[in-house]
Structure 1
Amino acid sequence: MNLTRNSKVIVQGVTEKISTQIALMMKSSGTNVVAIISPGEGGKEWDGIPVFSLVEQAVAKVGMIDASVIVMPAYQVLDAALEAIASGLKQIVIVTEGVPPLDMVKLLRKAEATETLIVGPSCAGIIVPDQFLLGTHSPQFYTPGKIGILSRSNTLTYEVAWELTKSKFGQSICVSLGCDPIVGSSFLQWLQILDEDERTELIVLVGGVSGVSEEVAASYISETIDKPVIAYIAGTYAPLNQNHSHGSYLISARVAGEIESKIAAFEAVKIPVAKCPSDIPSLVGNLLEKKCS
């Protein structure tokens, strides 16, 4: 990730209430929102932010753009993302949920070929407290500090950040990777980013029951990551073999023993696992104290 407070950011989405609210929330959080992209509505202005019909028109007007936040309808996300990539953008956050899996496969192939970082879909995006926001994180839960958060869940990202904030542990970078079955970037990519980030001293990883990304992350941490890591697995008490609507991918069709396998994977490489979000601050304090001693 190569973003600062001065990075130029656009919001791709029809100029309706939700996309305008997201753009204004990002701007009020310090993000340098230079344009809204809304096909057919170029030439307008929303609360001081110019509107363009195409990304290339925005680039021609304001210069090279660093990142885009996409809030288009699900079946328009692929075209919007490809348009951004064609205009040279290297970082894209997709807030929209329910993007067709085949569209995501096509997008990820293009992103890999162009070295573009994709976050989402169905995500709250990225926040660096008091610096900038790319997405829909609620800034009131965050405070600047040295703890990085990586999460598969949007709301759990907020909850963990708030628990840390209440305990006087600020955050460096907080990333919600997304809840759709196919998402752009992985725990491994972001673990590496946070491991190299000078502001981050400790990483909190929030996973779920379904999939194997947590076990893979545990192995990767033990072999590659130098900074201390704490894990929390959501869905421990979810009923077996039952889907859970919006959170279905995170904790769907839980199988007996699955949660124990994930916890065991972290414990096997001596990564502390919190039983609930409120336990995380005390684990953070313990690890930071050991690091300083």
Structure 2
Amino acid sequence: MAIFIGEDTRLVVQGITGRDGSFHTREMMEYGTRVVAGVTPGKGGQTFEGAVPVFDTVESAVAEAGANTSVIYVPARFAADAMFEAADAGISLIVCITEGVPVGDMLRVLPYVRDKGARLIGPNCPGAIVPGRCKVGILPGQIVREGPVGIVSRSGTLTYEVIFQLTRAGIGQSACVGIGGDPLIGTDFVDCLGAFENDPETEAVAVIGEIGGTDEQVAAAFVAREMSKPVVGFIAGQTAPPGRRMGHAGAIISGSEGTAAEKIRAFEQNGIGVARRPADLVGLMRDRLQGV
């Protein structure tokens, strides 16, 4: 079992003929992901790498290739339309890698996707990977290994760092999900924590948060209320000045609740072990796993 993606994933790549889309499609195929179709309007009838049919619409990719998951590599000005199209076509999981999607666009996209019964991961995210089985997005497959730790993160780069540190220490992962750092995203910490709690292959979870907003505080309350599995965490931006955006569009301190100190306090008060540096997660996680 895995969360969100796995052996039953049949992937369509929106923007497959573009620079980023084509590069990462090759990476996903080499990892073993079943890429069944690509979409680039006006290029229907072509094939990618001589094996993947390219369609003009997602609807055609679903009807003719049986796609059930989409990953989006299109410019920001087209990303909202790509998400709308995937939801309209009946795609159940939409992963939007594109960064720079306007907040106004996401205000329209999020309720639409939910009404269609689809799950959206992103935008501005690295996607998800289930080690040894499937990857959808840009997470590097060479740094993961199969194991019992679920990872959910707002930061793509820190996701890579934490995975690398755990793998180097011999601690594998059940699944890794980068949810993105924009103010409005489709899948949040609580969604992932609930999925990991219900996943029999996950024994412990690492949560990687950052300054801005209150998602980490909500996640901490969920952990205390709903989770039986141990959780450890790290908060990025501990030295960030107030009022200045740091990296992600959502990483800006606009009040006391958005500070790293407040998030760390919420984690600690709700039983989440907190690492002061990403590398410190290894020791915390090893201790939690030994206690499982």
How far did 1:248 drift? 4.9
What SS does the corresponding residue of 1:75 show, helix, strand or coil?
helix
Match of 1:5 among 4, 7, 15: 7
Matches of 2:16 and 2:279, distance apart in 1: 39
1:143 is aligned to: 145
One-letter identity of the residue aligned with 1:62: A
- Counterparts in 2 of 1:113 and 1:285: CA distance versus 1, 3 Å: same
1:251-266 matched pairs, under 5 angstroms: 252-253=252-253, 258-266=259-267
How far did 1:249 drift? 2.8
Unaligned runs of 5+ in 1: none
1:49 maps to 2:64: no
Work out whether residues 88 and 116 of structure 2, in 8 Å CA contact, stay in contact via their aligned partners in 1. Answer: no
1:281 maps to 2:282: yes
What SS does the corresponding residue of 1:174 show, helix, strand or coil?
strand
Matches of 1:289 and 1:119, distance apart in 2: 32
Matches of 2:63 and 2:214, distance apart in 1: 43
How far did 1:264 drift? 1.0
2:88 is aligned to: 86
What SS does the corresponding residue of 2:167 show, helix, strand or coil?
helix
TM superposition score normalised by structure 2: 0.94
How far did 1:255 drift? 6.2
Deviation string 1:209-250 (CA, Å, 9 cap, x unpaired) is 111111111111100111110011011123444333x33533
1:106 is aligned to: 108
Matches of 2:154 and 2:28, distance apart in 1: 21
TM superposition score normalised by structure 1: 0.94
How far did 1:16 drift? 2.0
2:97 is aligned to: 95
Matches of 2:16 and 2:150, distance apart in 1: 32
1:268 is aligned to: 269
RMSD: 1.6
Matches of 1:286 and 1:238, distance apart in 2: 30
How far did 1:114 drift? 2.2
Matches of 2:8 and 2:64, distance apart in 1: 17
1:243 is aligned to: 245
1:193 is aligned to: 195
Matches of 1:81 and 1:9, distance apart in 2: 14
Work out whether residues 126 and 175 of structure 1, in 8 Å CA contact, stay in contact via their aligned partners in 2. Answer: yes
1:152 is aligned to: 154
Deviation string 1:8-35 (CA, Å, 9 cap, x unpaired) is 1010015122110111111111110011
- Counterparts in 2 of 1:166 and 1:256: CA distance versus 1, 3 Å: same
Count residues with an aligned counterpart: 288
Query: Which deviates more from structure 2 when the two are superposed, residues 53-62 or residues 161-170?
Result: 53-62
Deviation string 1:74-132 (CA, Å, 9 cap, x unpaired) is 12112111211111111000000111212212111112212211000000000011111
Identity of aligned residues (%): 37
Work out whether residues 3 and 66 of structure 1, in 8 Å CA contact, stay in contact via their aligned partners in 2. Answer: no
What SS does the corresponding residue of 2:250 show, helix, strand or coil?
helix
Matches of 1:59 and 1:215, distance apart in 2: 38
